Structures are given as structure tokens and as C-alpha cells.
Structure 1
């Protein structure tokens, strides 16, 4: 149990330091000092700083998947996901977006990991790729495919899927950056988020009562 606790303390200390100083700005000695152990002792738990980072990334992936599963957000083939998004109402969509939004602005682990990637993206190619995958290219790619399918199925009016994805996701990312680590402003953040979703739906969503 003590070994496991020490491993977790190492990860926590590393994430705290990485989120403030970036990956390259932190040494194994720094992490060990934050935990209160010698750097030689740290190597008994992790082979390298690289392994610590890889473990933190695994943790980020796991926490995100747990959030998606907990809130029963659509997963699987794009056709299946499209159907679930298309057949649910606006209030359901707000709750689905809320879940992901609050994960990135309120979950301490996710917030620190995002800070790490933001700091490191301009000097570390891997960090830049991860930041793009998590917060820009990956998100836009998924939403472009989703909205394209929703147009084909008649849930959305015809438009350029990539442009529509950018219009949907751009303001959400901006709100994430604006309200990052500000739980006292959560009500304000969600009000702006919901207003954005409502305006977006007015422009693109075709209600069940309309001709497709």
C-alpha cells in the first residue's frame, strides 16, 4: 500500500509542477523533492520522467472515458452517435455539452493537464500534437464528421461541415479558456454556454416537425 501511495504522490507532484513550469522545466530531482524523497528512490517507482508523463496521459484518458461513460454520452460508430444526437432534444444536448465542459474547467487533473500542454506546446512537438488532439484538431475532426452525417440524415440543414464544426466548437473552447479553474463563476459560464448552443441550434438544427 505504501508503494502505491508513493507512486500516486509522485504523479500528483509531477502534475502540479508540470502544470506550472511545463515538462521541460521540471527535473526528476524537482519531483522527488516535492514528494519528500530522494531522486534515487523515485526511480524505484518510475524509470524516468518520460514514464511519469506517459502515466499521467493514461490517467487523463481514463478520467475522460469515465466521464463519458458516467454521463452516458454517445459512443461507437459515427452513424450510431449521429442517431443519438439527432433524436434527442436541445435540453439533452445542453447536458451532454455541460458534462464535457465542466470536466475541462473543474476537474483538477484535467485542468492541470491542459495547462501542461498549453505551456509545453511551443517547445515540445509531442505536447503540441497532444494539445491539438485534445483541444483543436481532434475535436474539430470528430465534430466535422458528426455534423456531416447529421446533414446527410436530415437532422441539420446543409452547410459546410467543417465550418459548422468550427462555429460550434470555437466558442466552447473560448469559454473553457475563460472559465478554467473558476468554479465560483460556473453559473455564468453555463449560461453563456447554453446561449451559444441555443443560437447554434436555431441556425442549423431541423426540428422533428419540419420537412427534411
Structure 2
């Protein structure tokens, strides 16, 4: 790991444990065994470090979507593509998302930092909403609206799908048997997908 990457990860570890505001550049440098002037050769400020963390998170999102061949573009195109997407692919991607937020160190630390900081600043609350609460629910609502054609049904499906996943993040953090929590997540996604698939098929048959 190069120095720039090591600074980024070390800072994020400290932010996740102590909160963003509580960690100074001196603390980050001390954790790395370097002086502040050496750190400033790589990042201009603590804010610069934080902005690079956000850039990394967004880049990881794009890379993951491409890896699992998920629909991209504006919402209309995404919804249209989801209608044709195999349910198995949706399940696989959902499971990958859970591993991303729980097992991969960088996003897991980012999630913990936002959870800790969400009540301390408006910016952190907005980021928490974007990555972990309102934005994922809104995104899924639009997907389900495209599948069902009904606004209220779509909203309920989004909550039924994402609510347990959101809860399982916290369960995972405190669990002694983390694999068991991951298994619960996989079972939830599989059962929800199977139930939704049956409901959509029945709806199609009724329309016919």
C-alpha cells in the first residue's frame, strides 16, 4: 500500500472510531508515525482527505455496478432494463451490496463513520441519507414502480425489501457469528425475489 492510500485508510479508521470532527491532522499523522508536513505533501487538509474518501466511495459504486452488469443511465432507462433483468442477477447484486457495506473494510468504515456522525452535522446527515437510507429506498421504489406500475405498491415493496437489509447492517456489526447474519441476508433477498417474481407472474396472467 502506498503512502497516499495508507493515509486515506488510516484517517477513515480514525473517523469511524472517533468521529470526523474529533480527529485532527496531527492525530492522523501521529497514527502513521509521520509529521504533519509529510502528510501535507499528499493531502492539503483533513477536508481534502474526506473529499477523497467520498470520491473513492463513488468510484467503488460505479465499479461494482459494472462488475455485476447492472443497468446504468437515467432512471427511465434503468427501470426499463430492470424489467428484463433476471431475478438471479438482482439477487447476486444485492448480496454483493451487503458484503460491500459489511465485509469490505473501506465501505464498512465509511458506513460506521456516517452512522456515528449523522446527528452532528447537516452534511453528514445528508450523506447518511444518500448512502444508507432515503436514497436506496427511493431508488428501489422507482425500480418497483417500473415493475408494478403502481406508486403505493412500489413504495411498500421498497420498504419491505430494504428495511431488513438496513437492520441487518447493525446486527452484523454486533454479531459474534457474522456469517449467520450474512446467511440471513441472503435468505431474505432470495425469498423476497421469489415472492415478487410470483406476484408479477400472477399479475401478468390476470391481465391476460
Distance 1:33 1:45 in 2: 15
Q: Which deviates more from structure 2 when the two are superposed, residues 195-204 or residues 35-44?
A: 195-204
- Pairwise CA RMSD of aligned residues? 2.5
Query: Which of these residues, 152, 162, 166, is aligned with residue 169 of structure 1?
Result: 162
More helix by share: 2
Are 1:10 and 2:3 an aligned pair?
Answer: no
Q: Which runs of no fewer than 5 residues in structure 1 stay unpaired?
A: none
Are residues 96 and 211 of structure 1, via their aligned partners in 2, closer, same or farther at CA, if it must alter by over 3 Å? farther
Are residues 86 and 30 of structure 1, via their aligned partners in 2, closer, same or farther at CA, if it must alter by over 3 Å? same
Are 1:144 and 2:155 an aligned pair?
Answer: no
Per-residue deviation, 1:124: 1.8
C-alpha offsets along residues 61-97 of structure 1, whole Å, 9 cap, x if unaligned?
A: 1112111111112222333322333233433321121
Are residues 65 and 186 of structure 1, via their aligned partners in 2, closer, same or farther at CA, if it must alter by over 3 Å? farther
Residue in 1 that maps onto 2:125: 128
Residue in 2 that maps onto 1:83: 80
Query: Is the 1:15–1:112 contact (alpha carbons within 8 Å) kept by the matching residues of 2?
Result: yes
Q: Which runs of no fewer than 5 residues in structure 2 stay unpaired?
A: none
Are residues 148 and 43 of structure 1, via their aligned partners in 2, closer, same or farther at CA, if it must alter by over 3 Å? same
What is the TM-score when the length of structure 2 is the normalising length? 0.86
Residue in 2 that maps onto 1:210: 205
Per-residue deviation, 1:200: 5.9
Query: Is the 2:114–2:128 contact (alpha carbons within 8 Å) kept by the matching residues of 1?
Result: yes
What is the TM-score when the length of structure 1 is the normalising length? 0.85
Residue in 1 that maps onto 2:23: 26
Per-residue deviation, 1:60: 1.1
Per-residue deviation, 1:169: 0.8
Q: Tell me the secondary structure at the aligned position of residue 160 of structure 1.
A: helix
Distance 2:122 2:5 in 1: 27
